[in-house]
Amino acid sequence: MLKDITIGQYFPGSSLIHRLDPRFKIIILFIYILMLFAGDSFICLGVGAVFTVFAILLSRIPMKMFLKSLKPLLPVLLLTALMNLFFVTSGDVIFKWKFIKITSEAVSISIFMFVRITLLIMGSSLLTYTTSPITLTDAIERLLSPLKKLKMPVHELAMMMSIALRFIPTLFEETEKIMSAQKARGAEIDSGSLTARAKNMVSILVPLFISSFRRADELATAMECRCYRGGEGRTRLRQLKSAPRDYIALTITLMFYICNLIVGKL
């Protein structure tokens, strides 16, 4: 069913990684990405890979979930690898057929890029797997809060994001209901000619839009009744508290990063 789809694929749990302060997790991910792109030797990547595996094991989420997260991006991964394979021309030619020339360097760069992007995706998945979308939104709002001084609508964006998260399941449920209702009137949604299908999409989208506007209107009134007046002076029930473990995790990440820099210089 549609409503079983979760956005961002959060796996609730209580592992060390789950319990880390989401703000620290975002910063750590940022350093991790820098680490992956800092060096260009396989040893550097090796350091990154060790870090990734280490973190995944700590999260207690099965490795196969991470491999699954790669699946939708596999075409992009393969395309990047192939592009490098065919278009890198430096190094010794190890294979030649008509105009296709593959060099030893091309092979190593392809593999390098493939592994680098794979690690990047796995690392980002670890963040979304271990942090609920609402917590993530909250952490982003707080990390970006200094930008409020520059008149950036940080609170407003975060509020929009969290309302969107709140209404996604509701809208999925509603879409399902409208689809059933139109199917009962003979609409063919997954068969029939292209024009018929387009027409039938209208029969779903129009009611969906109308009800979304109605919801938005009622929600705005309800928010007003509960004294909503923007981000100014707001306090929060959700407290983000950093614990010693957050600083330890950050230190370990920085150590890996430095280690990576040193290895890269060798």
Nearest CB to another protein, comparing residues 151 and 226: 226
d(CA 165, CA 170): 10
- Smallest gap from Cβ 175 to another protein, in A, equals 11
Give one DSSP letter per residue of 16-60, joined into a string.
HHHHS-HHHHHHHHHHHHHHHHH--SHHHHHHHHHHHHHHHHHHT
- Smallest gap from Cβ 144 to another protein, in A, equals 18
In 3D, which of 131, 129, 139, 137 has the Cα closest to residue 165? Answer: 137
Nearest CB to another protein, comparing residues 18 and 55: 18
Read off the tokens for 109: 């760069």
Nearest CB to another protein, comparing residues 170 and 251: 170
Nearest CB to another protein, comparing residues 122 and 187: 187
Nearest CB to another protein, comparing residues 45 and 187: 187
Secondary element (H or E) of residue 103: strand 100-103
- Smallest gap from Cβ 253 to another protein, in A, equals 29
- Smallest gap from Cβ 21 to another protein, in A, equals 16
Residue 143, classified by CB atoms within 10 Å of its CB into exposed (0-12), middle (13-18) or buried (19+), is middle
d(CA 81, CA 103): 13
- Smallest gap from Cβ 134 to another protein, in A, equals 5
Could you tell me which residues come within 8 angstroms of residue 123 by beta carbon, excluding any fewer than 6 positions away?
A: 29, 32, 33, 36, 52, 55
- Smallest gap from Cβ 17 to another protein, in A, equals 19
Matching residue, tokens 């870090």: 51
Nearest CB to another protein, comparing residues 28 and 178: 178
Contact residues for another protein, defined by CB under 8 A = 1, 3, 133-134, 162-163, 165-166, 169-170, 173-174, 177-178, 180-188, 202-203, 206-207, 210-211, 214-215, 218-219, 221-229, 233-239
d(CA 203, CA 193): 15
